[in-house]
Amino acid sequence: MAITTHGGTYTALYKAWIQMRHRCNNPADRGWHRYGGRGISVCERWQSFENFRADMGERPVGMSLDRLDNDGNYEPSNCRWATPRQQIQNSSRFQPLTHAGKTMSRREWEISLGLAKGVVTNRLRAGWSLERALTQPKIVGSLKGHCSKPGPNANSTSGVRGVSWYKGRWNAKRNGKHVGCFDSIELARAAWHRYGESSQAKT
């Protein structure tokens, strides 16, 4: 039986298709917690590269695949090619959040709770429910601050890679660098992921 090829293996479009499926289907992908880990999936039609190409067309230079609804799946009605600026404006960080009949930006919610900038985002990334993230007041020491770096005898039985219990706080360490210390394992884990993303972006 002859093998049918689509002729697009080395194209930017094929790379975008592979990356889309990888971050939704592979828990080892560095972006898994923001895609497949949140229940984001690729529609049945786009399991085929040919269908993806027919729906999206070739990838324009300087653009990447973007979902209109950040909580929606990868499917024809929810995707477009977007510039980096358009993607930033459409990211979840810039979308208003609604709770108990009140809609505000993340920064406005933080101000109303007396939280530092970025705390709501970190809480949501750590898996907090929207209600908890927008109602729990400031936790003293929840952000990175002055703390002792964990030594070789630190308790690493947290079950979370890179996070250990040391001198009464949760410490995050990645690639040999001390990221910070936190009052909750959720915040330490979120910082661990965030540091990894920023490190990847610099390479």
DSSP for 42-66 reads B-SGGGSHHHHHHHH-SPPTT-EEE
Closest CA to 92 of 14, 166, 38: 38
User: What's the mean per-residue pLDDT of the chain?
Assistant: 78
Identify the residue with better confidence: 60 or 184: 60
Distance, in Å, from the CA atom of 82 to the CA atom of 65, rounded to the nearest integer, reads 6
83 lies in the same domain as 108: no
57 lies in the same domain as 82: yes
Q: What are the phi and psi torsion angles at 63 (to 5°)?
A: -120, 160
Determine the 3-state secondary structure of 200 from DSSP: helix
Residues 33-43 pLDDT 10s: 889 988 899 99
pLDDT confidence of residue 133: 85
178 lies in the same domain as 203: yes
Range in 64-68, 72-76, 136-140, 198-202 with the lowest mean pLDDT: 198-202
Is the pLDDT score of 160 beyond 70?
Answer: no
Going by C-beta distance under 8 Å and a sequence separation of 6 or more, which residues neighbour residue 137?
Answer: 113, 114, 115
88 assigned to some structural domain: yes
4 assigned to some structural domain: no
Distance, in Å, from the CA atom of 115 to the CA atom of 118, rounded to the nearest integer, reads 8
5 assigned to some structural domain: no
Question: Checking DSSP bridges between strand 102-104 and strand 97-99, what pairing results, if any?
Answer: antiparallel
169 assigned to some structural domain: yes
By residue range, what is the domain housing residue 60?
12-92
153 lies in the same domain as 184: yes
82 lies in the same domain as 28: yes
129 lies in the same domain as 167: no
1 assigned to some structural domain: no
Residues 9-29 pLDDT 10s: 789 999 999 999 999 999 998
Residue 130: other Cβ atoms inside 10 A: 13
Work out the average pLDDT over 176-199.
Answer: 73
Q: Note whether 157 and 143 are within 8 A (CB).
A: no
Identify the residue with better confidence: 168 or 72: 72
Distance, in Å, from the CA atom of 82 to the CA atom of 67, rounded to the nearest integer, reads 9
24 assigned to some structural domain: yes
Q: Note whether 154 and 164 are within 8 A (CB).
A: yes
pLDDT confidence of residue 2: 42
Structure tokens at 145: 């601050």
34 assigned to some structural domain: yes
Q: Note whether 68 and 80 are within 8 A (CB).
A: yes
128 lies in the same domain as 101: yes
113 lies in the same domain as 55: no
7 assigned to some structural domain: no
Identify the residue with better confidence: 99 or 169: 99
Tell me the C-alpha to C-alpha distance, in Å, between residue 52 and each of 14, 82, 138, 166. 9, 16, 45, 49
Domain count, the chain: 3
Determine the 3-state secondary structure of 14 from DSSP: helix
